[in-house]
Structure formats: C-alpha cells, structure tokens
C-alpha cells in the first residue's frame, strides 16, 4: 500500500511514522508512506499558504492553489482514493478502516487554521473522514490515526491476521480482559481458565468476557450482539 500525506507540518507526521510498528513497516517495504509539505507548492517568497477569509471571521484559510498543486503532483494520473480529514466527514470506525485498507493508494490531506478554500473540494473528489465530533488544531493527528489504523491491516505489518482480528471493534465487540506475568499481583490472580491449557474453554471464556465487557462499557454495541451468547 502507498500512503501520501499532504500537510503543512511534515516533520510532525514523520516523528510518529518513524517509530514502532509503523516505522518498521516502512523500513521493510510493507507500506510506503510519504509526507509532502504543502508550502513547497506556493509562489509566495515567504512560503505563505493562507489568507484572510472572505466574508470576515477570525483565523485564516488555506489557499486553494498550493493545496491543489500539491495534491496534483502526488496523484499524477494514478488511481488513488483522496481523503480529507474533516470534522464534517464520515465517522471513522473499524468498517471504514477495513474499506480504506483495501485501497492500493491513499492520499490524505491535512487542513489547518480555519480550513481550506472550498473550491479545492469542488475541483477534486475527496472522501471526508472525521475521527470524532470535536475539532483539533489541524488534520495531522487525525491523518496519523487513519494511517496507523489502515497500515496495521496490511500484509507483513503484523505477524498474522490474529494480531488484529481479536482487537476491539473488529467483530463489533470489545476485546476481553488481558493478563500476563506474574500469575498473582497484589493478591489478584489470573483467571484459572487462562492457565488451564484447555484451549476450547479458553476461547469460550474470551467470547463470554468480550460480551460482558461490551455490555458494561458499550451497551449500544452489546444490543447488536447480545444474542451471540446463545452460541456457547
């Protein structure tokens, strides 16, 4: 998979994308991620890419031409999915992550300040994606969330599919509780079934606990899966 991120702050993105699982995935070639500085596409000698909004209001608006030129240079007639990180967009959930993870090429645009001149979106066909019903300073953090989520589903990034298919939200439920050594910590013992070696009983425990945790923390999700408890 190829992911291109258009941003005013490529160094911010690179810091995160060079670490941990994502960093190793880039090094191995499992995914190609490139950050592009939108300021490189302005004719302004001070590298300015924003101006005051027409109609008044506080803050500044990113100009259309630098953004458009940056995206155009990345796309270059290739078949890709354009994504704009926006609080007005489609809510990001695991199903949308799965959908975007199947794309061969994602181009993610990060807005900043008050936003981007709307004529860019009249000219280019972006899918708008939101990471929640709130506003942050810029699109960089949301873009990194999306990049991380789709990258970990790519072949060769994690050991195998079981590394993510048991995660919360993969099948609509939350993950069961997790334990590691020591077996007893501050008087609290690991559930006996997990050290029993009985794989069928362990799997049954995980499913039951997954339903319990979902019911406790996300009753809205539990309502969609409460009949699953009849399966064991």
- Domain at 130, CATH number: 3.40.1280.10
pLDDT digits (tens, 9 = 90+) for 154-163: 999 999 998 8
Q: Which residue has the tokens 């910590």?
A: 185
- Structural domain count, the chain: 2
Say whether both 130 and 85 belong to one domain: yes
Say whether both 147 and 188 belong to one domain: no
**How far is it, in rounded angstroms, from Cα 185 to Cα 13?**
38
The DSSP output letter for 9 is -
**Does the structure show a pLDDT above 60 at 232?**
no
The DSSP output letter for 190 is P
pLDDT digits (tens, 9 = 90+) for 67-120: 999 999 999 767 899 999 999 999 999 999 999 999 999 999 999 999 999 999
Say whether both 95 and 183 belong to one domain: no
| pLDDT for 163 | 87
Provide the pLDDT confidence category of residue 147 given band limits of 50, 70 and 90.
Answer: very high
Q: Can you spell out the DSSP letters for 99-123?
A: HHHT-SEEEEEE-BTT-B-THHHHH
Provide the pLDDT confidence category of residue 175 given band limits of 50, 70 and 90.
Answer: very high
| pLDDT for 55 | 96
Say whether both 211 and 141 belong to one domain: no
pLDDT digits (tens, 9 = 90+) for 17-54: 999 999 999 999 999 999 999 999 999 999 999 999 99
- Classify residue 83 by burial, with Cβ atoms within 10 Å: 0-12, 13-18, 19+: buried
| pLDDT for 119 | 98
Say whether both 123 and 188 belong to one domain: no
Question: What mean pLDDT value characterizes the chain?
Answer: 95
| pLDDT for 229 | 64
| pLDDT for 76 | 79
Say whether both 107 and 132 belong to one domain: yes
pLDDT digits (tens, 9 = 90+) for 191-226: 999 999 999 999 999 999 999 999 999 999 999 987
What positions carry a catalytic annotation? 87, 114, 152, 167
| pLDDT for 77 | 66
**How far is it, in rounded angstroms, from Cα 62 to Cα 133?**
22
Provide the pLDDT confidence category of residue 230 given band limits of 50, 70 and 90.
Answer: low
CB-based contacts of 69, cutoff 8 Å, min separation 6: 41
Q: Is residue 157 part of a domain?
A: no
Say whether both 139 and 177 belong to one domain: no
| pLDDT for 231 | 60
CA 89 to chain centre: 14
Give the domain extent around 178. 166-231
Say whether both 98 and 19 belong to one domain: yes
Residue 217: give its domain's CATH number. Answer: 1.10.1270.20
Q: Is the pTM of this model over 0.85?
A: yes
Q: Is residue 126 part of a domain?
A: yes
């Amino acid at each position: 998979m190829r992911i291109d991120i258009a941003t005013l702050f490529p160094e911010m993105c690179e810091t995160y994308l060079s670490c941990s699982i994502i960093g190793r995935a880039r090094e191995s070639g499992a995914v190609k991620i490139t950050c592009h500085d939108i300021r490189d596409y302005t004719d302004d000698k001070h590298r300015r890419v924003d101006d005051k909004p027409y109609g008044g209001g506080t803050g500044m608006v990113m100009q259309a031409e630098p953004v458009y030129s940056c995206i155009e240079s990345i796309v270059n007639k290739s078949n890709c999915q354009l994504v704009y990180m926006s609080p007005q967009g489609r809510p990001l959930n695991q199903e949308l992550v799965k959908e975007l993870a199947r794309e061969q090429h994602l181009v993610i645009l990060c807005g900043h300040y008050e936003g981007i001149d709307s004529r860019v979106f009249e000219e280019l066909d972006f899918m708008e994606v939101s990471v929640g019903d709130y506003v942050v300073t810029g699109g960089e953090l949301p873009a990194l969330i999306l990049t991380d989520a789709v990258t970990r589903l790519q072949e060769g990034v994690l050991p195998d599919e079981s590394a993510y298919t048991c995660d919360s939200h993969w099948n609509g439920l939350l993950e069961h509780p997790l334990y590691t050594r020591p077996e007893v910590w501050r008087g609290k013992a690991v559930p006996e079934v997990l050290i029993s070696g009985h794989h069928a009983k362990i799997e049954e425990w995980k499913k039951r606990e997954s339903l319990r945790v979902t019911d406790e923390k996300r009753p809205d999700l539990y309502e969609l899966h409460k009949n699953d408890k009849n399966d064991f």
